Amino acid sequence: MGIRLLGPVELRAEDGTLLEVAGSQRRAVLALLALQLGRPVAIERFFELLWGDRPPAHARAALQGHIAALRKVLCDSAFTLHTRAPGYLLTGAPEQVDLGRFEDLVARAEGATATEAASGTQTSVRTGPQTGTQTSKQTGARTTDDTETAQVSTDAATEAAALLQQALDLWRGAPLADLPDTDLRRALAGRLQESWTQVLISWSELRLRLGSGAAAVPALEQSVRADGLREPVAALLIRCLHQAGRTADALTAYHQARERLDSQLGITPGPALRAAFATALSEEAPAPDGHRAARQPHQPAPERAAMAERPTAAERSATGGQPPLPVEPTPATTATATGERAAAPAVSRQLPRQIAGFVGRSLESHWLDRECGEDRVGDGLAVVVGPAGVGKSATVIRWAHSAAAAFPDGQLFVDLRGFDPAGPVDQGDVLGQFLIALGVPEAGIPEDAAARGALYRTQTERRRLLVVLDNARSAADVVGLLPIGPNCSTVVTSRNTLEDLVVTEGAALLRLEALPDDDALRLLERALTPLRVQAEPQAAQQLITLCDRLPLALRIAASRLSSRPSWAIADVVAELTDERTRLHTLDTQGATSVRAALTLTYRHLSSTAARLVVLLAAHPGREVDGYAAAALLRCHLHDARRTLGELASYHLLTENVPGRYTRHDLIRLFSMELYADQPAEERKLSSDRLLDYYLTALRLASDHLDPGIESYGEREHPPLAFPEPADARASLAWFRLEEPTIRALVTAASADGRHEHAWRMARISESLYYGTGRLTDELACLRAGLRAAERTGSTQALAVLEGACANALFSVSFPDEALSLARQAVERTVPADGNTHLRAVYSLALISAQTGDLAQGRELADRAVGLSEAAEVGALPEHQGAAQGYAATIKLMAGDPVAALTHAREARRLLADYPASTLKLLATLNEAQILHLLGNSAATEPLWATLLVTTRETGFLHLQAVAEKWYASFLVDLGRLDEAAEHLRVAINLHQLHGHVATALTEQLADIEATLAP
């Protein structure tokens, strides 16, 4: 088994199999322990790595849960995880951690390196305990690559280089990259990355001495691309390129480093870079045998010296922006027939004015630099997409101005008006405008669009141009306008994803998201002055949220405040808080508004996609999937998914996880405006279809946990597509995603008269709420269902919801109200009501027993068992199993373990086909407790194992917490306190995940820890 830190954090078995360490926080705990192998790590240090300076209230319990899980996965490994003040300690062999192997290889390389007494230069590599591997160099009069005076033997240098190569090969990417992004993670990763860089330097120096510097070029280039401001690395790259015979590339590398230092730091190259440059400029590359290679006749030293005079960015600016690199002559600068050079036409600079008050987007600008800038690594074609109002055009135009000096032959710009009501601009007209801008006389521009395209390609073939194609609707609008010259770059913006352009032209795609909170706040400060914003920090944050952090919406809101100096930010917030008028508030007198931008996009959708935009107003959740969309559209699943994909391609929806789509509030409100204009019959139909879909899906999901649950009537609009979970785990996973939507639908249906839908959905959701441990949310949903049941006039509906609410109330510690509702449910029903009456009886039995009336509880339990076997009730085996399970719990509470055991085993037999049903698992818990009570503890272990494994694998959080608690009590009775403490910690963590109080468990754990303390 080994721990890998030099890349994504991994835990691997001895055979190399990847072992699961679930979640980035748990991997972070493992990483910190491994980084400090053999040394205790304080609890506060874990908090800092996981949550920064804001650990949550449950931080300690969460950490204990992670530690418990890691102990299990490490139990058979070479590592041991100890509890050691002031936190935790991981012990094990250092070579089992890749960082340990890395440091060992570096130390061995240091041992293999001989001292260079003659030259006064010593190169060593050492490993520090806190900061990782470092390299130190003490340099005398000569430089480190002076092979004529180097005293390191070839054998020693070869051995050291091989060891450092092995050390570098251990790296699999950016260290600790998949952990929570906190200041401590960045600091730790930075130290590790610094270790890699320093070892890279030492290895490259050795390669140079051995005459094999070419082998170091790829790694040095990678390092320079990642951080081009490290002069020692850039100097080594120049030397290695030179030694490899690539003198021109070495000189280019120097000039690129010089440019970066000038533009980013405002400094000139230091001694190391200048020395490397002088070497490349004045000396020929040594051949592999160490002799100098003959000078290449086609590139004499004076020509290389001329190349050395390329100006920096600041110098170019002062001299009118001359080209940074030699380019082939363009048609505008070729010699005339008389031998005189024709006058170059004026360079066309068509970029629009930059928007005032622009903030943020530095990462996006760096991305554009990489794909389309002067030192690009991409192919020079980038597509920037995003929703209306997110700032695509502003971001690209600002970047284009900053990059303009790198394109001395001009910058072309066109607004393609892809979403304009009048239609997009004619591509032939655009080509004509571009050709004129490139110096082609108007009389020489062909009439035919195809001929214009051919001439445009000829004109751009040998130029260095930047082309910005703004507001494109489709790839077809763009392809004919792409320049073909290798020194040209093109940036396209669109609300559509333009995936065809990515596939057919190899374009790089950037999705522009809403502004981060900090940048949104800076935008407001620029528009309103910092003083005004800082006077109302809470209102400013509310304004940012209500505007969905979209730059367009924020600018409109700020403009309203700027034109009304007497208004407070809170005044605009009050207007925006009203969802009915929010879009109106974000309108302007002109054509620029959020509503106008969304309307332009809406008009270009297919009819089905446009209809779905309207119907999504009936869906109250933040997420929607294909099944819900299919219900709204009354179509098949594949058609619904295709329609959702179309909306996502226009950025009206965002696919955050595969198959599930979210939308901004402003888009939701736009849908609601459109929905309000629909006929009342259409609105009712769409809502009914959605409710019937969720009733069907809930019924199928609940059957794995509450087998035999009634459907409570037929669906008027049965869905064409619905999920069919394979087991309880899949059912609970689906419900966790859909719960907010289900609760909102029940509440809305109860309020607007769809009472039958509301109470049925609430009842069918009951077991799923219990399974996911969302007991407070369950009660809120059931109360809404109860209100709806009261309005139906149905005794059965009322009894069903009263019984369900009674169980939920008791689960969250409202025993008196629970008992009252349970009694009402029994009184409203008779045996002829079947399972409705049976459920009411055994629910009342359990609540009576738990509130202290064991006699009544036992009598009602026996009555429920009898009813379940009576022909009059017609109970299914699943209903009989439920009655037996409740009876087992009550008899155990009443002190009759023998009778309780009979009931528990009968319940398990009747529910054998439902291994993860709630009552089957509770019966298993009862049987384990009873057997231990009867002195047969050995027979309980398999039952405990089945119970714990099933609840964990299923994700049955509440029942898992219950099982962990009772298993801990079992372990305490057996004297296994260490194990008991671990299970109590898990139980406490599970309770606290949903805000449940676990005071008794915490006190029990404290007692055990006090006993275990030395």
Asked whether the beta carbons of 205 and 160 are under 8 A apart, the reply is no
Q: Which two tokens stand for residue 207?
A: 């390669």
In angstroms, the CA 115 to CA 123 distance is 8
Phi and psi of 372, rounded to 5°? Answer: -135, -5
Q: What is the pLDDT of residue 304?
A: 37
Question: Which pLDDT belongs to residue 330?
Answer: 40
Residue 335, domain member (yes or no): no
573 lies in some domain: yes
Residues 943 and 920 placed together within one structural domain of the fold: no
CB 765 within 8 A of CB 805: no
Q: What is the CATH number of the domain that holds 157?
A: 1.10.10.10
Is 689 in the same domain as 665?
A: no
- In the block, tokens 């928007």 appear at 355
Q: How confident is the model at residue 311 (pLDDT cuts 50, 70, 90)?
A: very low
Whole-prediction pTM: 0.59
Q: Is residue 316 part of a domain?
A: no
CA distance 584 to 588: 9
The predicted pLDDT at position 857 comes to 92
* pLDDT of 331 above 60: no
Q: Which helix (H) or strand (E) holds 68?
A: helix 59-73
The confidence score (pLDDT) of residue 995 equals 64
1005 and 886 in a common domain: no
Q: Binning pLDDT at 50, 70 and 90, where does residue 413 land?
A: very high
Contacts of 333 (CB under 8 A, 6+ apart): 341, 342, 344
For the residues 727-731, what does the mean pLDDT come to? 92
Are the CB atoms for 688 and 751 separated by under 8 Å? no
Let me know whether 736 and 803 are in one domain.
no
Q: Quick check: is 314 in a domain?
A: no
What's 386's DSSP letter? -
DSSP string, 388-415: TTS-HHHHHHHHHHHHGGG-TT-EEEEE
Q: Is the separation of the CB atoms in 26 and 179 below 8 Å?
A: no
* Same domain, yes or no: 56 and 191: yes
- Whether residues 389 and 489 share a domain: the answer is yes
Q: How confident is residue 136, by pLDDT bands cut at 50, 70 and 90?
A: very low
Residues 1003-1014 have pLDDT tens digits of 888 888 888 887
pLDDT confidence bin for 588, thresholds 50/70/90: low
Q: What is the pLDDT of residue 238?
A: 92
Token pair for 342? 């024709």
Query: In this structure, how many other beta carbons lie within 10 angstroms of the beta carbon of residue 965?
Result: 21
Same domain (yes/no): 263, 370: no
User: What is the rounded CA–CA span in Å between residue 305 and residue 467?
Assistant: 33
For the stretch 669-674, contacts whose Cβ atoms lie closer than 8 Å and that sit 24 or more positions apart, written own/partner, are: 669/579, 669/582, 669/583, 670/583, 670/594, 670/595, 670/598, 670/602, 670/613, 671/613, 671/614, 671/616, 671/617, 672/579, 672/617, 673/583, 673/595, 674/602, 674/613, 674/614, 674/617
Do residue 581 and residue 654 come from a single domain? Answer: no
CATH number at residue 963: 1.25.40
Instruction: Provide the CB-side half-sphere exposure for 931 (13 A, CA).
Output: 18
90, part of any domain: yes
Q: Looking at residue 248, which CATH number applies to its domain?
A: 1.25.40.10
Is residue 269, in this structure, part of any structural domain at all? Answer: yes
Burial, 792: exposed, middle or buried (Cβ in 10 Å; 0-12, 13-18, 19+)? middle
Q: What is the pLDDT of residue 418?
A: 83
DSSP symbols for 345-380: PPPPB-PPPPPTT----HHHHHHHHHHHSTT-SS-S
Regarding whether 740 and 664 lie in a shared domain, the answer is no
Per-residue model confidence (pLDDT) at position 994: 65
Query: pLDDT digit string (tens) for 647-681?
Result: 888 888 888 788 899 888 888 888 888 888 888 88
pLDDT tens-place string over residues 520-535: 898 888 888 888 888 8
Of 877, 899, 927, the position where a domain reaches its end is: 927
Return the pLDDT at 855. Answer: 93
Each residue's pLDDT tens digit, 609-635: 999 999 999 999 889 999 999 999 999
User: Which domain, by its residues, includes 769?
Assistant: 679-793
Backbone angles phi, psi at 292, to 5 degrees: -75, 140
Q: Which two tokens stand for residue 356?
A: 């005032």
Domain match, 799 and 898 both? yes
Q: For residue 122, which phi and psi values (nearest 5 degrees)?
A: -130, 130
- Element (H or E) spanning 686, and its range? helix 680-702
> Quick check: is 291 in a domain?
no
Residue 439 pLDDT class (50, 70, 90 cuts)? confident
CA separation for the pair 825, 845 (Å, rounded) = 12
Higher-confidence position of 263 and 810: 810
The reply to whether 786 and 799 lie within a common domain is no
Residue 797's φ and ψ, nearest 5 degrees, are -60, -45
Condensed to tens digits (0 to 9), the pLDDT of residues 85-132 reads 888 999 998 889 999 999 999 988 888 774 443 344 444 443 333 334
Give the tens place of pLDDT for each residue, 952-998: 988 888 888 889 999 999 999 888 999 989 999 998 888 877 666 56
Of 264-268, 316-320, 734-738, which gets the smallest average pLDDT?
316-320
Q: Where are the alpha helices (DSSP H) in 116-182?
A: 154-169
User: Residues for the chain: how many in total?
Assistant: 1014
DSSP labels, 230-283: -HHHHHHHHHHHHHTT-HHHHHHHHHHHHHHIIIII-----HHHHHHHHHHHHS
pLDDT band for position 332 (cuts 50, 70, 90): very low
Question: Which residues on adjacent β-strands are paired with residue 660?
Answer: 625, 657
Judge whether residue 310 has pLDDT over 60.
no
Measured CA to CA, the distance from residue 865 to residue 900 in angstroms comes to 13
Domain boundary among 676, 701, 722: 676
Lowest mean pLDDT of 53-57, 573-577, 639-643, 684-688, name the range: 53-57
The string of pLDDT tens digits covering residues 888-911 is 999 999 999 999 999 999 999 999
Picking from 239, 254, 281, the residue at the C-terminal end of a domain is 281
Residue 293 belongs to a domain: no
Contacts of 464 (CB under 8 A, 6+ apart): 323, 327, 406, 407, 408, 409, 485, 487, 488
pLDDT at residue number 129: 34
Give the CA diameter of the chain: 119
Indicate whether 751 pLDDT > 70.
yes
Phi/psi of residue 341, nearest 5 degrees: -85, 130
Residue type, 461: E
* Between 374 and 289, the higher pLDDT residue: 374
pLDDT over 90 for what percent of the chain?
33
Calculate mean pLDDT across residues 187-202: 89
- The answer on pLDDT for 146 being more than 70 is no
**pLDDT mean across residues, the chain:** 83
DSSP bridge partners of 122: 138
Q: What is the pLDDT of residue 337?
A: 34
Q: Give how far the C-alpha of residue 241 lies from the chain's centroid of Cα atoms, to the nearest Å.
A: 40
Is 90 exceeded by the pLDDT of residue 551? no
Structurally, the chain folds into a number of domains equal to 8
Of 148, 153, 147, 110, the C-alpha closest to 128 is 110
> Sorting pLDDT into bands at 50, 70 and 90, what band is 827?
very high
Is residue 383 located within the same domain as residue 432? yes
Contacts of 367 (CB under 8 A, 6+ apart): 382, 510
